[in-house]
Amino acid sequence: MKGYIKRFLAVVLMAGLAFDLSGCSIKTQSSNEKIPVKAVIASKGKLNSTIVVNGSLTPNKYADVSSKLAGQVIAVNADVGDKVKAGQLLVQIDTKELKAQLQQADASIAMANKQAEAAKVSIQAAQQNVEAAQIKVNSAKVSLDDAQKNYDRVKSLYDAGAASQSQLDSASTQLQQAQLQYEAALNQYDTAKTQVNSAEEQYSTYTGPALQQAEAAKNLIQVQMSNSNVYSPLSGIVTNRNIEPGEMAGAGSPLLTIADISTLKMEGTVNESTVSYLHVGQKVSVTVDAFPDKEFQGEISQIGPVATTTGQIFPIEIKIANTGELKPGMTAKATINITGDENILVPASSLRSENGKTYVFVIDKDGKAVKKEVTIGLKNEKYVEIFKGLSIGDIVAVTNANALYDKANVEVLK
């Protein structure tokens, strides 16, 4: 049994060795075969190419029209599809309640002015009373001074024995009466001054906070009434209507949408490798699916300064003058003609892509294909720019690129 196993293993090993040798022989023969290719000499030139940007048309400008005033709508003067001009009256809000409030504010202002006028009259009357009281004070002071002098004179005579007791008592009584009259005049003067101060305070109240509050209320109502008419902020076409007469409009809620479609725009993206060939103002040819055989003229209006986070692509904006045929929402294609700088050019058929990298095969002096990684730029249907990886004069294989491998023997066909 053991002898049988040994003989079996020996047969298997011999068969494996024979298969391996046979394989080596086949590979050696294959590697000696020459792969036929056509080749070109790498040279410099300028490449004409086109960049195609796809997108849809949108209005250059649009505005949602809303009312600053909440209230019931009494009129809507435009419908979807209507053309409107900047400043045109579009929506009217009912102002009945505001008019009533305005009348009330006017009445409050009139009342405040009337009360202020009455207070002003009171001030004048009180000031006249002050003046009259001042005259009485002055007169009573003169009488008091005279009575004091008379008393002093009689008192001196009395002390000298030249006046009687009754004369002294009479002079004293006159002095006391004059003193009382003077004090009464002072009290009347003080009362008149108090009346003036009170009237002035009333006047200040009616011409101050009360009147100011009424005038502020009126101003606010007038502003609200001016907001009852809603006007178009721009010339264009009505693309949306969200309100009907009789409905309530909320402050700030969009009632209509106006779009300026005299100029339309489309947004798209371009690759990092081509963005440097574009500039603002560059002419663009635009076609739309609705009119496939007609070209519309546009120009680049904006190029994004920063690439998107995915794909290293840059956003661009193109504006198209609308002759009246184009409408927002149409699918559009923009074609941009560009000419590259002077760079090495090779046929597009020479390229081979692997794992996100691009290669070409250069034929060396020994007739072998050398695989070289290259950096490409612009390309069209026939040619491609090479930024890096090739030199002028390199012989580049332009056929059978997918059949070639590094160090493969090749036969250059004429």
Q: What is the pLDDT of residues 266-308, one digit of tens each?
A: 999 998 878 888 999 999 999 999 998 999 999 999 999 998 8
The pLDDT of residue 19: 29
DSSP 309: T
What is the chain's mean pLDDT, rounded? 86
Residue 129 confidence (pLDDT) above 60: yes
Q: Where are the domains of the chain?
A: 50-57+257-339, 63-95+226-255, 98-222
Dist CA 112 CA 32 (whole Å): 115
Helix (H) or strand (E) holding 29: helix 2-32
- CB-based contacts of 285: which residues, under 8 Å, 6+ apart? 295, 296, 297, 298, 334, 335, 336, 337
Question: In degrees rounded to 5, what are phi and psi of residue 282?
Answer: -65, 135
Question: Looking at domain 63-95+226-255, which CATH architecture does it have?
Answer: Beta Barrel (2.40)
How far apart (Å, rounded) are the C-alpha atoms in residues 231 and 236?
Answer: 13
Q: At residue 325, what are phi and psi to the nearest 5 degrees?
A: -90, -30
Query: In the predicted model, what is the mean pLDDT of residues 32-54?
Result: 91
Burial class (CB in 10 A: 0-12, 13-18, 19+), 216: exposed
Element at 40 (helix H, strand E): strand 39-41
Of 33-42, 102-111, 147-156, 182-191, the poorest mean pLDDT is in 102-111
Q: What is the pLDDT of residues 4-23, one digit of tens each?
A: 323 322 332 233 323 233 33
Could you report the per-residue pLDDT of 76-122, keeping only the tens digit for each? Answer: 999 999 999 999 999 999 988 888 888 888 888 888 788 778 878 88
Taking the C-alpha atoms of residue 180 and residue 176, their distance in angstroms, rounded to an integer, is: 6
Per the confidence metrics, is the pTM higher than 0.85?
no
Task: List the structure tokens of 342.
Answer: 């002077």
Q: Taking residues 146-164, what's their average pLDDT?
A: 90
In CATH, which superfamily holds the domain spanning 98-222?
Answer: Helix Hairpins (1.10.287.620)
- Provide mean pLDDT across the span 304-322: 89
249: helix, strand or coil: strand
Q: 414 vs 347, which has greater pLDDT?
A: 347
Q: What is the predicted pLDDT for the residue at 201? A: 79
Please tell me the total number of residues recorded for the chain in this structure. Answer: 414
Query: What percentage of residues in the chain have a pLDDT greater than 90?
Result: 55
Q: What is the pLDDT of residues 383-414, one digit of tens each?
A: 999 999 999 999 999 998 889 999 999 999 98
Highest mean pLDDT among 14-18, 196-200, 201-205, 255-259: 255-259
At the topology level, CATH places domain 50-57+257-339 in Elongation Factor Tu (Ef-tu); domain 3 (2.40.30)
Give the whole-angstrom CA distance, residue 412 versus residue 414: 7
